[in-house]
Every structure is written in structure tokens, then in C-alpha cells.
Amino acid sequence: MNVFVNTVLATSTVEGAVSWLNYAFRLMYLPIGLFGVSIATAALPTVSRQSTQQDSVAVRETVTNSLSLMLMLNVPATVGLVVLAEPIVRVLLERGRFTPADTLATAAALQFYSIGLVGYSIVRIISPIFYALGHNRTPVIVSMVVVLVNAVLNYLLVHTSFSYRGLALGTSIAALINAGTLLVLLRGHLHGLNEGRLLGSIARIAVASIAMGAAAMWSHEWLGTWMPGASFLVQAVRLAVAIGFALLVLAGSAWLLRIREFNQGIALVTRRLRRSAR
């Protein structure tokens, strides 16, 4: 519904806005498809079994583990998409009738959409848990309210200087509101969510992600000076090297900060890649 609202409102802005938003949304949603769905799929049967056994402590532990792992994967992904939005869009899309101006516009939309990436991922994990706990109506009602909130936000923002970018921003804010509301309600049902551990993980992951983002930005700019050129191959190499260096910094930061979810995230990504290869 949010995408539909965005499409309708985008037609009243500049030409090309609908395409820019659609491309940006697809790129933003890639980490959710890779990581968010996998974590939710793994957590659901465990929570269902623990709920049947009325083991609320175990349910809290499973939810906390799932959220921490999701944050370890998607907070760095958010930072990476914001910092490298332009080169990512350029390498993937800029050819044929997709011009440099389209790249800049799509990258701007991607940056605003990326703000809501963690919110989308939390909803992906939390919504099925409500069903496992027997609270089927809760995520549906919250989603209906958030659709209305998103429509109002987007209508207001699209008529500001943000223009079509306001649609991406409004959607991200709505996703974060959706996630925050569901977390508060789930916390009430479970009488807590191991907040101390979760906040500690968030702090460490945020520090590691900031270091990674700085490394990605610096390395890509440095490579642009050392390896100039506008050909597809040169741009792809620059982007790949910058991402590789950023991941090394992330791994080093995770080791220094003792982020245990990092190894779990590596294992999850490896399994997904092996399945894709098969």
C-alpha cells in the first residue's frame, strides 16, 4: 500500500520520479530479502515451540537474539547504502537511457529509503512472532494505522523542498513507527526484551558501522583519484574494492568490540550464498 501511495503521489512531482523511487526501493529491499526473511524464518518455529511450552524467558531470548543478529546485518547495510548510494546505482543501472541525472536522483531516493531499512527488517521479524504468540490482530491493526500515517506524511513531505525524496523519507519514517510500535507491544506481551543486552549490541554495532562507513567513503574517494575513469569496469572495480575494504574494517571493529553477532551474521550470509550457488 505504501508503494502504491508513493507511486500515485510521485506522478505529481518531476518526470521520472516514479522510476527513481521504484529502482531505489528495490535496491533498499535487497538486504531485507537476503537477511530479514532468513532470520524471521529461522525464529518463527522456535518461538512457536517455546510459546506452546509457555516459556516466556526462552521466547525473550530468541527474540533478542534475532533482533541483535538483524541489527548486525542491516545497520552496516544501511550505512553502506547511504555512503555508497551513488556508485552503487551508477554501476548497477547507469547505461542506455538511464542517464547520470537519473543516477543522482535514484541515489538520493535510495539514501532516504535506507533510513527505514532497520524498521522494515524489525517488522519482518516481529510480525510473525505475534502470530506465533496468538496475537494475530496486533500486527494487522498496527499496519493499517501505519499505512494511514505514511499517506499523511508523504502527502505533506512531497509538497516541500524534498519533492519525490519526501516520499522515500515519509515511507522510512512510517516503517520506523511500525517497528517501534510493534516492539513496544511485544515488550508488553513478553514483560521485557532483555533491553540491556539489546542496547549494548546496538551501541557496539553502531560504532562498528560508523567506522565501516568512514572506510567506505574514504576508500572510494581515494580510488577515484588513484584509478580515474568512467568505464563500467573501472567503476565496478572501485566499488568492489571500497566495499571489500569497508567489510574488513567492519570485521576488525567487530573483533575489537567483541560483537558476537558478527560471526553469526557471517554464518547466515555464507549459508545463503551456498543455497544460491546450488
User: How high does pLDDT run on average in the chain?
Assistant: 87
Give helix 261-277 / helix 56-83 axis angle, nearest 10°: 70
Contacts of 46 (CB under 8 A, 6+ apart): 62
> 59-77 pLDDT, tens per residue?
888 888 888 888 888 899 9
With CA atoms as reference, report the closest residue to 211 among 247, 164, 179: 247
pLDDT higher than 70, residue 192: yes
Which stretches within the chain are classed as H helix? 2-10, 17-31, 37-52, 56-83, 85-93, 100-114, 117-132, 137-158, 164-190, 195-226, 232-257, 261-277
Three cell numbers, residue 275:
543455497
End-to-end CA distance of the chain: 34
pLDDT higher than 90, residue 141: yes
Higher pLDDT, 261 or 246: 246
Which pLDDT belongs to residue 277? 65
Q: Rounded to an integer, what distance in angstroms lies between the CA atom of residue 121 and that of residue 139?
A: 14
- The mean pLDDT of 251-276, rounded to a whole number, is 77
Three cell numbers, residue 216:
567506505
Give helix 100-114 / helix 164-190 axis angle, nearest 10°: 20
Which pLDDT belongs to residue 36? 66
pLDDT higher than 90, residue 106: yes
Check: CB of residue 238 under 8 Å from CB of residue 220. Answer: yes
Report percent pLDDT > 70 for the chain: 95
pTM of the model: 0.88
> 195-241 pLDDT, tens per residue?
888 888 899 999 999 999 999 999 999 988 888 877 888 999 999 99
Which pLDDT belongs to residue 207? 95
- The mean pLDDT of 171-175, rounded to a whole number, is 93
Which pLDDT belongs to residue 276? 64
Outline where DSSP puts E strands in 160-262: none
Count of structural domains, the chain:
1
Range of the domain at 205: 2-277
C-alpha Rg value of the chain to the nearest Å: 20
